[in-house]
Amino acid sequence: MELRKLVGHRCLIQCAASIIVENEKGEILLGLRSDNLEWGYSGGSIEIDETPEECATRELKEEMGLEALELEYFTVNAGPQAHYVYPNGDEVSNIELVFRCTKYKGELKSNDGEMLELRFFNIDDLPRNLSKPIIPVFNRYIEYRKNLKK
């Protein structure tokens, strides 16, 4: 936020980490974001001296109330498809490390107000209003899940 005071809405490279949480039924946890009213997984900017794993774990706790017990690296989301303009006009070119989590504990709860609703979805029945930058990640995730079944 301090950097935004200096550069305004200009595009910044943003290093981020995110988690796709999957329950025992194979459903994916998504949150309805309060800023753009689109569904997304938990994630956010990596803070100074924070590892991607620490960031993803922290964001999951803040945004969805869960504690990740185990993380598995999944993919990197970057390039034009990860470019995003926030509703307030802030623009970012994301380099997002995405993890998968099937072992977690806690109670679903948005602790920071970023999520209006939290819900598990069947991977074949995701909501239409997914946040645009994560659509390529979910396309890869769907392929990954298909390959697991083979």
Give pLDDT tens digits along the chain (150 positions).
788 899 999 999 999 999 999 999 999 999 999 999 999 999 999 999 999 999 999 999 999 999 999 999 999 999 999 999 989 999 999 999 999 999 999 999 998 888 999 999 999 899 999 999 999 999 999 999 888 876
Domain ranges (residues) in the chain: 2-149
Q: Write out the DSSP string of 15-55.
A: EEEEEEEB-TTS-EEEEEETTT--EE-EEEEPPTT--HHHH
What's the pLDDT at 20?
97
Q: Are 110 and 64 spatial neighbours (Cβ–Cβ below 8 Å)?
A: yes
CATH number of 2-149: 3.90.79.10
Flag whether the pTM goes above 0.85. yes
Token duo for residue 61 = 């706790």
What's the pLDDT at 126?
93
Element (H, E) at 143: helix 135-149
What's the pLDDT at 57?
98
